[in-house]
Structure 1
Amino acid sequence: MTQTNLVEQFVTQVIAASDNAELDRIYLTNQVLALVGDEARSVVTTSTVLIDLKDELVAAAVKNGHCGSTFNEQDILGAQLMNLLVPRPSIVNRQFWQTYQEKPEQAIADFYQLSKTSDYIKTRAIAKNIYFVTPSDYGDLEITINLSKPEKDPRAIAAAKKVKATGYPLCQLCMENEGYLGRDNYPARSNHRIIRFKIDDEEWGFQYSPYAYFNEHCIFLSSKHEGMKISEKTFTRLLNIIEQFPGYFAGSNADLPIVGGSILTHEHYQGGRHNFAMMKAKITTKLNFKGFADVEAGIVKWPMSVIRLRSQNKKQLVALANKILQAWRQYSDEQVGVRAFTGETPHHTITPIACTHGDQLELNLVLRDNQTSSKYPDGVFHPHQDVQHIKKENIGLIEVMGLAILPPRLKSEMQEVRKFLLGDKNKIAAMHLPWAEQIAAQNKITAANVDAVLQSELGKVFAKVLADAGVFKQTQVGQAAFMRFIKSVLN
């Protein structure tokens, strides 16, 4: 393999992957040396892959003392190096919207490619995730064990405690993250860019998720740091987004704790180019709402409680979605433990998802209830204790649609369960033992089928997780209760 100078090769690849020209070579070289130290001039490489070259430069900077040894310090330097190939925000936006005028999908594809090339989307880290599909009564569920996000370095945690809080950026979804250097307790964003767009008269931003869970996983964020709120405006915005970004779905986490997402302090939605199991699920019961003749409606065959609305009439679609939201906010049914309030504390909200279906606009409205009780202190409509050995975290937008995001601990824990099932020496965790014994009793386990059986059983657990989060259960009693709510909306 041919050896070349590391700095020269990195600059060559930056020029090839960006709008930089050969005339910029000396300038780019000096920018690199300013970041990694003049000592890097003597380092050689056999690589021609841009991200690999970046990593080698970071390693050289660590070796010569220009960069610290923690992940955060190295990530900050890596983002600065990759920022050399990313145009300024004004140029990125100008190029996006110039292309958009003729070819909207090409503009989106170009921005997606830029976000990957610049290592803002962590493609190599994402590739570490464990992913498989498993059949269920509700269609093929997707399972991921999330290994892409780096584990927190104890040294970085210690250093972060010493960092004085600045309040800037206010959160990781604020516009101020664009180009932000990062620090011990905050991610590197030097190579981050945001596309600005309008929803009515409001300024919004479009960016990709650094640690994507599905194809073209993106985020639409408000320019204002205001808390999330599901309202009539939410439905209008989501439909506006899918019209502006063809081929994408857009959805919102719920706006209450337990049933909401991880960040409730900043209004934002998620989207991407992916067809989830819930979107493919069929209608079990058709519904007709008086005064909304232009809207097709129905209850979806799904473990959570979903009402699907379709129409070409956006105004009617939004109006009916809002009517259902307002009814659900106030609705209680003691027969099935559904309560809108405890005192003045509200429990009911909706997780809405917008997409297109042929020439129709579609809204899927997932009913959510965030009650707790002495029996279910983590949440009545939340993963119950019998499945928390696999999944205890909140069920947010992505999981609602049928893609499980399971914690990284499961990679090693499932290896021990696998050994147990095969009768090998193991260190199975006590919390997994009853589940593993049940699997062993119900299946004839061999070396040839153990992985398939384990994946199938994880899928069953995820289906149970979704059922736990479902307000109206998939039983005669539950579905009768669902229809009582529908009738309350009709009234």
Structure 2
Amino acid sequence: MKKSNLVKEFVDQVISMSDYTDLDRIYLTNRVLRLVGDEALHQQTSSGDLLDLKAELVKTAQVAGKCGTSNNEADILEAQLMELIVPRPSVVNWRFWQTYQDSPTQAINDFYTLSKSSDYIKTRAIAKNVYFVTPSEYGDLEITINLAKPEKDPKEIAAAKKQANHSYPLCQLCLENEGYLGRMAYPARSNHRVIRFQLGQEDWGFQYSPYAYFNEHCIFLAAKHQEMKIERQTFERLLTILEQFPGYFVGSNADLPIVGGSILTHEHYQGGRHDFPMAKASIMTKLSFRGFTDVTAGIVKWPMSVIRLRSSKKEQLVELANKILTTWHTYSDETVNVRAFTGETPHHTLTPIARMHDDQFELDLVLRDNQTSKQYPDGIFHPHPDVQHIKKENIGLIEVMGLAILPPRLQDELHEVEKYLLDKPNKIKSIHLAWANELKTDFEINPKNVTQILQTALGQVFVRVLADAGVFKQTPQGQAAFLRFVQTVGIE
């Protein structure tokens, strides 16, 4: 391919993808040189892709000493370069809501496209993730090994510890992240934009997740920095979001440690355009709640404990969901180790997920219990020690719905397990030996089937992980206990 000037090619791309015109060319050139150094004027390129050009400019800046070599420093410069194609927040919001008047779907699509083209959504990094589907008795489950988000550089961690404590932004979900430069051990957000909207009487924001775990993975966040709380208002908000953002599901992590998500200090929900395995799961026990004739309900065939409610009447759904929540807050059943409190410490909450189904609101309520014990110090209803070689982290909203987010370490570790299964020289970790030996015993393994066997086995481990997190187990005793709970709520 014919060579061209790197800076000129990058500026050409910026002009073609932004509000800038050819009259801005000199200005843009100087903006780029301000970031990467004048040496870039002499660089040639054979690329015509904006992201490739951006990467070449970062390397040029690193050689010139304008940018450090750590991942964090490179990310900060990359975000500054990509911000050149992103309008200022007021313009992004004005365009969104102008388009929304005619087509909410188009407004959402346009914002999603902008978030990808500006590299705020790290599409190339996300493509590195390992993903496959594996069958189970609960339907096909989704497995990912998350390779998109780079591991933190030890040098960055050490440098961050030397820095003074920062209180701005207060957390990574605050609106103050919009346009924030970034710093050691804190992400670059120069190219980040947030759509403002009203949720009831409150100010909220809508943005996408940079390292998306599923299609159009987005975040709805409170403008005010406040702790997460599952309450009646949660159900009202979730169902309202369904109306305001058509085509998306929306759900919330639980609001207690162990069973909650990674950020409990800022009220937020996650959503997107994805059909999760749990949404496809069937009802195994139909329920009819007294006083709620307009709501169909049932216990979902799922390894966790899920009550599904469906109705066209929002208020009825909110009332019943809140009744289930308040009952669960104080419900105990010692026969199955379910305890609402230890002293004054609460253990019960919900993971709620809302979606539209055949023009009706559908609300899944997943019962959560965050007790610990001497036998299970990480959590009684948490992945137990024998499966923690695969998944030790909290089971949050996304895993609850049937998409496993497995740690990056597993890519190399599972490769060694494959070699062990094939009796090849290997460096298998001791934590995987018992599991690998079981597979050797149960299957005739050869080079053609080893990957499929391992993937299926991972799926079965994930079923166990979810079952461990399930409060009422999929056993006669567990399901009888589940029915005792819903009877307490009030069924006919």
**Structures share a fold, TM > 0.5?**
yes
Could you tell me which residue of structure 2 aligns to residue 8 of structure 1? 8
How far residue 166 of structure 1 moved from its aligned partner, in angstroms, is: 2.5
Could you tell me which residue of structure 2 aligns to residue 463 of structure 1? 463
How far residue 358 of structure 1 moved from its aligned partner, in angstroms, is: 1.1
Q: Distance in 2 between matches of 1:75 and 1:469?
A: 36
SS of 1:192 mapped into structure 2: coil
Could you tell me which residue of structure 1 aligns to residue 306 of structure 2? 306
Q: Match for 2:123: what amino acid?
A: T
SS of 1:59 mapped into structure 2: helix
Q: Which runs of 5+ in 2 are unaligned?
A: none
Q: Distance in 2 between matches of 1:375 and 1:206?
A: 42
Give the RMSD, CA atoms, in angstroms.
0.6
How far residue 127 of structure 1 moved from its aligned partner, in angstroms, is: 0.6
Q: Distance in 2 between matches of 1:24 and 1:363?
A: 51
Q: Distance in 2 between matches of 1:166 and 1:433?
A: 43
Q: Match for 1:89: what amino acid?
A: P
Q: Distance in 2 between matches of 1:125 and 1:238?
A: 30
Q: Distance in 2 between matches of 1:162 and 1:118?
A: 32
Q: Match for 1:365: what amino acid?
A: L
Could you tell me which residue of structure 2 aligns to residue 155 of structure 1? 155
Could you tell me which residue of structure 2 aligns to residue 32 of structure 1? 32
Preserved contact between residue 249 and residue 273 of structure 2 (Cα < 8 Å): yes
Identity of aligned residues (%): 71
Could you tell me which residue of structure 2 aligns to residue 74 of structure 1? 74
Could you tell me which residue of structure 1 aligns to residue 231 of structure 2? 231
Q: Distance in 2 between matches of 1:378 and 1:166?
A: 30
How far residue 165 of structure 1 moved from its aligned partner, in angstroms, is: 1.6
Q: Distance in 2 between matches of 1:316 and 1:208?
A: 31
SS of 2:228 mapped into structure 1: coil
How far residue 169 of structure 1 moved from its aligned partner, in angstroms, is: 0.2
SS of 1:75 mapped into structure 2: helix
Preserved contact between residue 204 and residue 221 of structure 2 (Cα < 8 Å): yes
Preserved contact between residue 257 and residue 370 of structure 2 (Cα < 8 Å): yes
TM-score, normalised relative to structure 1: 0.99
Q: Does 1:262 align with 2:259?
A: no
Q: Distance in 2 between matches of 1:75 and 1:420?
A: 38
TM-score, normalised relative to structure 2: 0.99
Could you tell me which residue of structure 2 aligns to residue 247 of structure 1? 247
Preserved contact between residue 133 and residue 141 of structure 2 (Cα < 8 Å): yes
Q: Distance in 1 between matches of 2:162 and 2:434?
A: 43
Q: Does 1:44 align with 2:76?
A: no
SS of 2:364 mapped into structure 1: strand
Q: Distance in 2 between matches of 1:484 and 1:155?
A: 54
Q: Distance in 2 between matches of 1:434 and 1:65?
A: 50
Could you tell me which residue of structure 1 aligns to residue 340 of structure 2? 340
Q: Distance in 1 between matches of 2:130 and 2:310?
A: 35
Q: Distance in 1 between matches of 2:482 and 2:25?
A: 66
Preserved contact between residue 160 and residue 184 of structure 1 (Cα < 8 Å): yes
How far residue 185 of structure 1 moved from its aligned partner, in angstroms, is: 2.2
SS of 1:161 mapped into structure 2: helix
SS of 2:290 mapped into structure 1: coil
CA distances 1:402-438 after superposition (whole Å, capped 9, x unpaired): 0000000000000110001111011111110000000
- Superposed, which structure 2 residues align to 1:191-340 within 5 Å? 191-340=191-340
CA distances 1:39-87 after superposition (whole Å, capped 9, x unpaired): 1100010001101100100000000111111111111011000001100
Q: Distance in 2 between matches of 1:81 and 1:28?
A: 10
Q: Match for 2:266: what amino acid?
A: H
Q: Distance in 2 between matches of 1:166 and 1:255?
A: 25
Preserved contact between residue 207 and residue 220 of structure 1 (Cα < 8 Å): yes
How many pairs were matched up?
A: 491
Could you tell me which residue of structure 2 aligns to residue 83 of structure 1? 83
Preserved contact between residue 376 and residue 384 of structure 2 (Cα < 8 Å): yes
Q: Distance in 2 between matches of 1:350 and 1:166?
A: 32
Q: Match for 1:478: what amino acid?
A: G
Could you tell me which residue of structure 2 aligns to residue 411 of structure 1? 411
Q: Distance in 2 between matches of 1:19 and 1:309?
A: 46
Could you tell me which residue of structure 2 aligns to residue 386 of structure 1? 386
CA distances 1:141-199 after superposition (whole Å, capped 9, x unpaired): 00000011111111111211121123000000000000000001211000000000111
Q: Distance in 1 between matches of 2:277 and 2:33?
A: 49
Preserved contact between residue 230 and residue 255 of structure 1 (Cα < 8 Å): yes
Preserved contact between residue 227 and residue 264 of structure 1 (Cα < 8 Å): yes
Could you tell me which residue of structure 2 aligns to residue 362 of structure 1? 362
SS of 1:132 mapped into structure 2: strand
Q: Distance in 1 between matches of 2:247 and 2:439?
A: 40
Q: Distance in 1 between matches of 2:328 and 2:132?
A: 35
CA distances 1:359-382 after superposition (whole Å, capped 9, x unpaired): 100100000000000000000000
SS of 2:220 mapped into structure 1: strand
Preserved contact between residue 181 and residue 190 of structure 2 (Cα < 8 Å): yes
How far residue 16 of structure 1 moved from its aligned partner, in angstroms, is: 1.1
How far residue 17 of structure 1 moved from its aligned partner, in angstroms, is: 1.4
SS of 1:284 mapped into structure 2: strand
Q: Distance in 2 between matches of 1:57 and 1:87?
A: 21
Q: Match for 1:468: what amino acid?
A: D
SS of 2:382 mapped into structure 1: coil
Q: Match for 1:286: what amino acid?
A: K
Preserved contact between residue 163 and residue 185 of structure 1 (Cα < 8 Å): no
Q: Distance in 1 between matches of 2:426 and 2:334?
A: 46
Could you tell me which residue of structure 1 aligns to residue 54 of structure 2? 54
SS of 2:308 mapped into structure 1: strand
